[in-house]
Amino acid sequence: MLVDTNVLVDVLANDPEWADWSVAQLRTQAQIHRLHINPVIYAELSLAFSTFEALDAALAELQIPVEEMPRPALFLAGKAFVQYRRRGGSKSNVLADFFIGAHAAVAGWPVLTRDVRRYAGYFPTVALVSPD
């Protein structure tokens, strides 16, 4: 299972609205799946840390490894971005959610997230664990 950035930020920042849900989901999902992040999620998380050593320590404490992205996932992310642009999307760079969703699709993993919009719209085969 890929753990989306927003869930980890909830936990690491002790978000008053979402930390309890995110902690509970990490505990529950860790009993069902092996939890992972990828380099895109790592890069997004780096914004909350002053050093990569601090980020690596936090991930080690959570027992969440960084999994490399296979080339088929990178290819699929580009194709999803093309669909996004054809549907009227205005961003000019491939969005992080496309890399995360494509990685999950290629690996056959679900995604633990609070933001289902792009995942559901561009990667319909990816199972999502999210708040109701």
pLDDT band at 121 (very low <50, low <70, confident <90, very high): very high
Domain residues for 33?
A: 2-129
Q: How far apart are CA 14 and CA 64, in angstroms?
A: 18
Number of separate domains in the chain: 1
**pLDDT for the residue numbered 91:** 87
**Greatest Cα pair distance in the chain:** 42
Percent of all residues in the chain with a pLDDT value above 70, rounded to a whole number? 100
φ, ψ of residue 129 in degrees (nearest 5): -110, 115
What's the start-to-end Cα distance of the chain, in Å? 19
User: Helix, strand or coil for residue 54?
Assistant: helix
**pLDDT for the residue numbered 94:** 80
CATH number of the domain bearing residue 13: 3.40.50.1010
Q: What is the pLDDT of residues 9-23, one digit of tens each?
A: 999 999 999 999 999
